[in-house]
Amino acid sequence: MTPRHLLAGLAVLALAACSHSAPPPAATAMSQGGIGTGPAASVAPPTGAKPVPTIFVPPPESAIPRGPFGDMVRLGREIFVDTGVAAKAYVGNGLRCSNCHLDAGRLANSAPLWGAYVAYPAYRAKNGHVNTLGERLQGCFKYSMNGKAPPLDAKEMVALETYAFWMAKGAPTGEKLPGAGYPKKGFKPPQPPDFARGEAVFKTHCALCHGADGQGQQVAGRYVFPPLWGPDSFNWGAGMGQLDNAAAFIKANMPLSQGGSLTDQDAWDVAMYMDAHERPQDPRFKGDLAATRKAYHDTPMSLYGTTVNGHLLGSAPAMRK
Ligand code: HEC
Ligand code: HEC
């Protein structure tokens, strides 16, 4: 058997396995995307072993249909990858959604949109009630984009939800899909994260692209490498400001295209180093740092309102432009 035949054979096996466990609707999904068509699905696990989780494969972009629905999907994609231009009124920093949700929101383990779409409505401890996907998207504008939440019926929101809906075609709702979110379950640092070690990791593995000062790099006024802290980065209320989110994202995705190459300890240390720098104020701040920490950051995963390397984090004068 040539390697090519072998691959084809495995693919057939994977398809057979898939149609076995999944009823016809999944088969429809597989023509454009769906569980069981990804690379992880092509190797059958040895008998008795835990099955290799199959990663959902979203439909290819070439499958975006013509017509008004497809136009809305395309607008959603545009907003996702060029947020500061396509949704300018709601963005207050230099980031794009796709800076943290890689490959235009398609990549597993970088909180892909197909994983998110089927996970809402969901209860969130962050605000103590059940959130729709719309409200979840609003949160990313307010904190990750340091901007303003678009109204739920704004065209920008409709577009993003339509893009996510299209990408999740064939995915089961209400299930945590393998590859959804950032892989932080059970991801713990061997030793408590350390600022000085994190600085060393940063210099060796990150500064080349994100800049020695973490401020990213711009070409003609547009960031080609996004800022990790400072006035143009996510604000103190953002999920990436939590050490577990940051460490998991970094471990799985950074340095870019070399995800998985850092040790767990390095990922936690550099996450701590990144999150121990100043960034725009938490928009829920009412003038009292300790009270804001108590109300919204009362967890060891947040450094806000704590002193690291001799600096009280969150105390910098407003960084809004
Ligand atoms: C600075 C990085 C960053 C940026 C920029 C960003 N996000 Fe996020 N996003 C996160 C983090 C962190 C989470 C939480 C992931 C988790 O809990 O596993 C998240 C979660 C989400 C979720 C929920 C995912 C899930 O599986 O529950 C959606 C949807 C989302 N973001 C959409 C967006 C959109 C739309 C934009 C742009 C308007 C955006 N994000 C910009 C970091 C970012
Ligand atoms: C080869 C260049 C490169 C290297 C090296 C690199 N990154 Fe990135 N990083 C990027 C790019 C480009 C993006 C945005 C990805 C996109 O938009 O597709 C990004 C995105 C990010 C983000 C989310 C966006 C933001 O600004 O907050 C974080 C956090 C991050 N990188 C941290 C790190 C850390 C920590 C390291 C070192 C361990 C690192 N990166 C190394 C290129 C790099």
**What are the φ/ψ torsions at residue 224 (nearest 5 degrees)?**
-100, -30
Spatial distance between the Cα atoms of 58 and 38, rounded to a whole number of angstroms:
9
Spatial distance between the Cα atoms of 75 and 134, rounded to a whole number of angstroms:
16
Ligand 2 atom 16 nearest Cα: 99
Ligand 2 atom 15 nearest Cα: 99
Which residues form ligand 2's pocket by a CB distance below 6 Å? 95, 98-100, 102, 205-206, 208-210, 225-228, 233-234, 240, 250, 254-256, 262, 270, 274
Assigned CATH topology for domain 195-312: Cytochrome Bc1 Complex; Chain D, domain 2 (1.10.760)
> Which of 80, 93, 199, 209 to mutate to test ligand 2, by most ligand atoms within 8 A of the CB atom?
209
pTM: 0.88
Tokens in use for 55?
A: 């990663």
Q: Are the C-beta atoms of residues 134 and 123 closer than 8 Å to each other?
A: no
pLDDT recorded at residue 51? 72
The residue ranges of every structural domain in the chain are 1-57, 61-167, 195-312
Tokens in use for 299?
A: 């967890």
Q: What is the mean pLDDT of each run of 10 residues along the chain (321 residues)?
A: 37 34 34 42 54 90 98 98 98 98 98 98 92 97 98 98 98 94 96 98 98 97 97 98 98 97 98 98 96 97 97 85 53
pLDDT digits (tens, 9 = 90+) for 88-106: 999 999 999 999 999 999 9
Q: What angle do CA 147, 216, 205 make, to 5 degrees?
A: 125
pLDDT digits (tens, 9 = 90+) for 178-233: 999 999 999 999 999 999 999 999 999 999 999 999 999 999 999 999 999 999 99
Domains 61-167 and 195-312 share a fold: yes
Q: What are 124's strand-pairing partners?
A: 129
Spatial distance between the Cα atoms of 259 and 249, rounded to a whole number of angstroms:
9
pLDDT recorded at residue 49? 67
pLDDT recorded at residue 25? 35
Q: Select from 1.10.760.10, 3.40.50.720, 3.40.50.1950, 3.40.50.2300 the CATH code of 61-167.
A: 1.10.760.10
